[in-house]
């Protein structure tokens, strides 16, 4: 019955060949699809369900930190966008513009938001008058458009993407800095605990910081090819935007002061990192905490055993509802076909139940991450399932952590860095001058992927000379190829 479908369903590409494997696994697992607009993808229900899980967790964490959600317009007048020079310079090449409606040209062209600082801060300047109005902590879950010209890749590089953008305002520098660090810690915890990805907490170099920020911090992850990719970020903007957008408040001493600001974001790019990092030759491997379906039950029966097996399967499915168990009761597919499909879709744990299992009062558990099979007594299933899900979550994280550790090297000279930079991140002494970083970009197609931060947010200090230019090193930084 399903032979033809089986053929088309199985992955053709091996993961070792990432360029073919990555888009194929995304299409076949039905996370996303291409659309008629290059660089704009369709997020299908299975992919959207993962995004919803990401949103739910991060949103709850943000709310606990006192952040409130709101919504600002998609369109931003050109004059507003142009107010903070560094910021606009950073974004102009990627802005998509609305210039006409119907048959008439607009008096002022409107940008489709590449990010919302400008339009939000215009309102902030009206809303913030006194120290009593602070802190103001707002966030949007929205879409933005950045018209990139590099080759698009679903999730990793798309022209329109979903994200959160947090924009917070404080009365003092100290409060703002503390908050930006708490946000980075929150994201870091999310990446490691929920996505099961090793995340490096770093400060961005001068060359790589966000357009308009005083400094930027981020969580960086390593892809299977050893290239780094930026995950969520948290920026301390100082008073730059406050000065450009006139965000002032009357302090407790009755004096006018500019406010202090932060911005932070996590985008659906992380779904791409999740897919690439954990997946294998058979498809997705999802961490239980973000899997739309953490556990699937596949009943195995013939005509004469169907009734008995289905009855037991339904019973188990009901008992295990709180673990997000899905009973695959489709009659038009064979169990083997179902195994393949759920493996392709990365469901962390499969429960198989057939007539022989019922006789023995047990079921078969199959882990997606290791392929390991085990027989479990039905009476012990309630304890065993959460235990195994937990073990899978931990195993995925440990693998990711080990991979990042193995691929982290140190170089004392430029020649050494040159040798190591393909497939690794390389820690070196660095002057943090943009010219120096540009030189590495030109010669090695590599850039900094952060200055390491310790738990107290101290940036790693340089010892000796920058290995690129020989001037005194002001910090240590990782160099690597990156996405
Ligand atoms: Zn240098």
Per-residue model confidence as pLDDT tens digits over 134-151: 999 999 999 999 998 888
Task: State how far the alpha carbon of 99 is from the alpha carbons of 108, 329, 483, in Å.
Answer: 8, 53, 32
Query: Tokens for 87?
Result: 């910021």
Domains and CATH numbers, the chain: 16-278 (3.30.930.10), 295-389 (3.40.50.800), 408-480 (3.30.110.30)
419 Cα to the center of ligand 1, angstroms: 18
56 Cα to the center of ligand 1, angstroms: 43
436 Cα to the center of ligand 1, angstroms: 5
353 dihedral zone (left: phi>0; alpha: psi -120 to 50; beta): beta
Q: 185-223 pLDDT, tens per residue?
A: 999 999 999 999 999 999 999 999 988 889 999 999 999
411 Cα to the center of ligand 1, angstroms: 14
Give me the residues paired with residue 230 across strands: 220
421 Cα to the center of ligand 1, angstroms: 17
> What is the model's pLDDT at position 481?
97
pTM confidence score: 0.95
Q: 401-431 pLDDT, tens per residue?
A: 999 999 999 999 999 999 999 999 999 999 9
> What is the model's pLDDT at position 5?
52
pLDDT at residue 8 is higher than 70: no
Tell me the percentage of the chain whose pLDDT exceeds 90: 93
> What is the model's pLDDT at position 460?
95
418 Cα to the center of ligand 1, angstroms: 15
> What is the model's pLDDT at position 82?
83
425 Cα to the center of ligand 1, angstroms: 18
Read off the pLDDT of each residue in 341-365 and give the average, rounded to a whole number. Answer: 96
Q: 263-291 pLDDT, tens per residue?
A: 999 999 999 999 999 999 999 999 999 99
**Predicted confidence band of residue 1 (pLDDT cuts 50, 70, 90):** very low
235 Cα to the center of ligand 1, angstroms: 24
């Amino acid at each position: 019955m399903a032979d033809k479908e089986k053929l088309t369903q199985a992955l053709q590409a091996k993961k070792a060949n990432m360029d073919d494997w990555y888009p194929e696994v995304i299409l076949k697992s039905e996370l996303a699809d291409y659309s008629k607009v290059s660089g704009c993808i369709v997020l299908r229900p299975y992919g959207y369900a993962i995004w919803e899980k990401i949103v739910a967790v991060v949103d709850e964490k943000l709310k606990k930190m006192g952040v409130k959600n709101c919504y600002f317009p998609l369109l931003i007048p050109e004059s507003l966008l142009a107010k903070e020079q560094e910021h606009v310079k950073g974004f102009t090449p990627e802005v998509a513009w609305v210039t006409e409606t119907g048959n008439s040209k607009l008096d002022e062209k409107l940008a489709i938001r590449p990010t919302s600082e400008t339009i939000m801060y215009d309102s902030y300047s009206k809303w913030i008058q006194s120290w009593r109005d602070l802190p103001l902590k707002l966030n949007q879950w929205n879409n933005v458009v950045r018209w990139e010209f590099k080759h698009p890749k679903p999730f990793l590089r798309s022209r329109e993407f979903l994200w959160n953008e947090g924009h917070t305002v404080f009365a003092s520098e100290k409060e703002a800095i503390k908050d930006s660090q708490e946000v980075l810690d929150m994201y870091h915890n999310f990446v490691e605990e929920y996505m099961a990805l090793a995340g490096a907490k770093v400060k961005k170099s001068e060359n790589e910081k966000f357009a308009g920020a005083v400094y930027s911090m981020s969580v960086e992850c390593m892809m299977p090819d050893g290239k780094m990719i930026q995950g969520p970020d948290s920026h301390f903007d100082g008073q730059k935007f406050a000065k450009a957008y006139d965000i002032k408040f009357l302090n407790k001493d009755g004096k006018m002061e500019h406010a202090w600001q932060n911005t932070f974001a996590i985008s659906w790019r992380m779904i791409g990192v999740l897919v690439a990092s954990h997946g294998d030759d058979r498809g997705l491997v999802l961490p239980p905490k973000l899997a739309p379906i953490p556990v699937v039950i596949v009943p195995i029966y013939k005509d004469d055993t169907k009734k008995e097996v289905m009855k037991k399967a339904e019973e188990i499915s009901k008992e295990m509802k709180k673990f997000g168990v899905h009973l695959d009761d489709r009659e038009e597919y064979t169990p083997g076909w179902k195994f393949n499909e759920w493996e392709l879709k990365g469901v962390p744990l499969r429960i198989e139940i057939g007539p022989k299992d019922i006789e023995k009062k047990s079921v078969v558990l199959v882990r997606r991450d290791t392929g390991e099979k085990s027989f479990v007594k039905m009476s012990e299933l309630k304890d065993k399932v959460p235990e195994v899900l937990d073990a899978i979550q931990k195993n995925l994280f440990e693998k990711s952590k080990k991979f990042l550790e193995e691929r982290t090297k140190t170089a004392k000279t430029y020649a050494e860095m040159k040798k190591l930079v393909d497939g690794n991140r390389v820690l070196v002494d660095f002057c943090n001058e943009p010219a120096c970083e540009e030189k590495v970009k030109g010669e090695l197609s590599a850039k900094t992927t952060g200055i390491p931060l310790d738990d107290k947010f101290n940036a790693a200090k340089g010892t000796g000379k920058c290995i690129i230019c020989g001037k005194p090193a002001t910090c240590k930084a990782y160099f690597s190829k990156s996405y």
